[in-house]
Chain A
Amino acid sequence: MLVGHQTWEFENKPVIASTGTVGGPFEAKGAIPYDFDTLHDDLWLGQDSYEKAEKVLFEESCIKAIEKAGLTQEDMQFFFAGDLVNQLTPTSFAARTLSIPYFGLFGACSTSMEGLALAAYIINSGGAKYILTGSSSHNSAIEKQFRYPTEYGAQKPPTAQWTVTAAGSAVITNEGNGPYLTSATIGKVVDMGLSDPYNMGGAMAPAAVDTIEAHLKDRNVDPSYYDLIVTGDLGKIGQIIAHDLLIDHGFNVTKEQFQDCGLIIYKEDQPVLAGGSGSGCSAAVTYGHLLNRMKQGEFKRMLVVATGALLSPLSFQQKESIPCIAHAVSIENGNDLKQ
């Protein structure tokens, strides 16, 4: 049901039945290795190209999620997924293997929540019983796509972010014991005229703030309603900017409550400059680490705001600024939500 301008409230409470998360070697050394279902020590995953490696990474997370739900690929009715490589190559090739009716999505790093919001809406309205959704990124495949060759010795500024090698998938269904999807806010493109691809956090922060504000207004709740408001991957700098903007606009969000997937995934001493990014980042952290903590009862309500920078190598070379977007999905748990 539409509430306010751009928010859906899901009265039938779709459920995250299971999730699958897979990470690479650098993520295995990170801050949350125990929250991954599978970790690889080989960046190539035994493949002969990084694009193929990303495909395998994503396939594994999808198969894991389906297995953990005690289902088979044939049970899945739709598949909403995407990544950052041109023409969604790894995702489309994974969809070929999985053979599930497929929608390819591009929302850059916001793809995870874009897919989750659409899946929840369709489940809520009775359009399907099981939907698979997720997204992935591979450090070397994405660096090659958007920046310099991986072995090129260019110096990155402290505002740059590290693309994660990870994939996260979830099976969404209409009944179960939670966690429940209660609402979703679809963001609009916000462009504040920033054009430095080495400062994506700064470019994306206003989009995150715009969506969070719209969500709170549409649902008519106070920020304190949520135990956690987690942004996709704003990194150190973007997160500080977003927090200050929210306070500036009169939303009382505390520092403890406001977290970022790009800062959760790595340890402080890893050389990732401003933090992690990439479409696999928010997917793996949300479907792994955050849901695990929620299931353990550490918190009950969270709003995941995945942020995406919708630039391309072409738009950057043509001196365009960076259009940014953010999608939010609220995930809640608790006995009071059971039907």
Chain B
Amino acid sequence: MSDQKKKNLTPVQQKYQKFASDREVKRPVFKNCIKAFLVGGAICVLGQFIQMFYYTFFDFTEKTAGDPTVATLIIISVILTGFGVYDRFGQFAGAGSAVPVTGFANSVASAAIEHRTEGYVLGVGGNMFKLAGSVIVFGTFAAFVIALIHTMLTQWGGL
């Protein structure tokens, strides 16, 4: 907890929080990291196979095979979300299943399913990007800033 937050607490609250945190079961961070590494890595290996499949059997180059590969992973993730499997998988894998593109697809699909009962326009349409929306907003903004820096360096920095 930040020091600022701690200052607003009374001594009784601080004493209790110490008391409670001594008895709390902590997140198994190291175990979670290992699981995330293995599962996240496995998803990437799967992606690699799909990509090889596309440029071996179809008319794709190693570069252009990226698009159908991402689309395939997204479809798999959405189907698993629809069958109610992905959230259980996520509880085990943590960041391993949240960080890859499959996690992003899951956040969109799960929100869409959740709000189906409120109708297609206000429910599904309005809530689909409830979780993924901020990823898009800050992702786009970050890309814009990086593009500016890149342009400045190449145009005037002489790189």
Contacts and interface: CB of A to CB of B under 8 A. Distances in A.
Partners in one complex: yes
A154 B151 CA distance: 37
Interface stretch (B22-30, B41-49, B66-74, B141-149): B22-30
B152 interface: no
The majority secondary structure among interface residues of chain B is helix
A149 B111 CA distance: 6
A199 interface: yes
Q: Indicate the member of A48, A159, A192, A199 with the most B CB atoms within 10 Å.
A: A192
B9 A193 contact: yes
Contacts of B12: 192
B154 interface: no
Q: Indicate the member of B23, B81, B111, B117 with the most A CB atoms within 10 Å.
A: B23
Contacts of A50: 117
Contact of A153 (B19, B24, B82, B89): B89
A241 B17 contact: no
Nearest to B90: A153
Interface in B77-101: 81-82, 84, 86-87, 89-91, 93-95, 97-98
A335 B144 CA distance: 78
Interface in B121-146: 130-131
Interface of A: 48-51, 144, 148-159, 191-194, 199, 202, 205-206, 236-237, 240-241, 244-245, 271, 274
Interface of B: 8-10, 12-14, 16-17, 19-21, 23-28, 32, 81-82, 84, 86-87, 89-91, 93-95, 97-98, 103, 106-107, 109-111, 113-115, 117, 130-131
